[in-house]
Amino acid sequence: MKAVAIKRLIKSQLIAIPALCVALVASASNESQVIVDPQAAVEFAALPSDLKFPEGIAANPANGDIYVATFNGGATNSILRYNKYGKLVARNDFSGITPLLGLIYNPKDQKVYITSVDDFTVGGSRIVRIAGNFNAGTPAELVALIPSVGAPTPRMVPNPDGSQDLITFGDVARVPNALELNSNGDLFVSDSFQGAIFRINSAHTCGPCAITTIAHDGLLATAGFPPFGANGLALNKAQDTLYIANTGDDRILRLNLGTGAIDVFAESINGADGIVFDQEGNLWVAANQADNLVALDENSRVIAQLGAFLGIRENGSPKGLLFPASPVIVGKDIFVTNLSIALRGAADVESEVTRYTISRIRIPGSLRH
């Protein structure tokens, strides 16, 4: 293992130590326990050798199929379909050079909806969909073009000494990222660069569809790292609040769908990326810079920290989690894409990865009732 990999491994283990100490103390005093398991992530499947950077993930709960899409800039990008045993059963390269981000399976029309970031390559970012039982020749359909709403209003940040900093954002590309559906089939879309949330009403009934901006705010943009603002989306059980990961700000935000108000739910989750609620109402967050999954309770307290980066295998694949991007829950398992992208180049251990994977994590029994 190279020195940079060892450094990253040591760092990931040190991150786990404080939480582990909390767990031990809590257990001894019969108080609530933080579950820490760096070994929790196991390999579920590997991408074909010619594909890189698995980002979006979705699942068909009826048969356990897992869908994965790639985010590889100007190279070939694909959507893949694995069965519940991790066997690749279909691949579709319809996107060509278009990088893909978020995925979601819509049971109302049995199709997979995909964010296509064409502004990074050929221009014209959009939402598309494809039949859930696709094969190599299945065409994709246009759902909606992402509107250009520009940069959000500047954000004023207070300092402890009473002063304030003003953050202004550029007029940026359209970067649709994550997707979420409510029970009516309304589709929510985050835009990481424009700092916006869009909605398509009853997406399964239209195409092309009208798209509405429901939030455009400086809290949804970022000047941090990784340079993606509004990212993962998850609706609460009542479906009146949309939770939003802001990756560069290491935050989870809440959007009140009735009033439009946005507030901060959780802070300091290192690279908060994809998010998903489990059946118990716990929010699972892929912390892409900490190489783990973090579970938050309804009060935003950490109740579990699972997975870690454990090195690079001889075949070039990451062991454990490496830049986990998107989670999806099927039954008792969380499936996670290991994006493993080296945003800083050779300085990152991700630059050593040559085979890209999806991991599986079993939800601890104590968090399932």
Whether pTM > 0.75 for this model: the answer is yes
User: Could you give the C-alpha distances from 83 to 45, 110, 157, 175, in angstroms and in order?
Assistant: 10, 16, 47, 29
> What kind and span of H or E run contains 28?
helix 3-28
The pLDDT assigned to 151 comes to 93
Question: What backbone phi and psi angles, to 5 degrees, belong to 19?
Answer: -65, -35
Query: Which residues of the chain register pLDDT less than 70?
Result: 1-31
Q: How far is residue 119 from each of residues 75, 115, 346, measured CA to CA in Å?
A: 14, 11, 26
pLDDT of res. 162: 95
The correct CATH number of 146-276 out of 3.20.10.10, 2.40.10.500, 3.30.70.100, 1.10.600.10 is: 2.40.10.500
- Distance between CA atoms of 347 and 108, rounded to whole angstroms? 45
Instruction: Read off the pLDDT of residues 123-141 as tens digits, 9 standing for 90 and up.
Output: 899 999 999 999 999 999 9
Neighbouring residues of 129: CB distance < 8 A, sequence distance ≥ 6: 106, 109, 111, 112, 113, 114, 140, 141, 143, 207
Token pair in block for residue 164: 């304030």
* Structure tokens given for 322: 């490496």
pLDDT recorded at residue 12: 44
Q: Please tell me the predicted confidence (pLDDT) of residue 192.
A: 97
351: left (phi over 0), alpha (psi -120 to 50) or beta: alpha
Spatial separation of the C-alpha atoms in residues 109 and 130, rounded to whole Å: 10
Q: pLDDT by residue (tens digit) across 211-220? A: 999 999 999 9
Among 359, 269, 277, 237, CA closest to 310 = 359
Least Cα distance to 335 among 132, 12, 41 occurs for: 41
Please, where are the H alpha helices in 102-257? none
Identify the H or E element spanning 10: helix 3-28
Query: What does the pLDDT read at residue 22?
Result: 38
What is the identity of the amino acid at 68? V
12 C-beta neighbours (distance < 10 Å), count: 20
Backbone φ and ψ for 18, nearest 5 degrees, come out as -60, -40
Copy the structure tokens of residue 12.
Answer: 């990931």
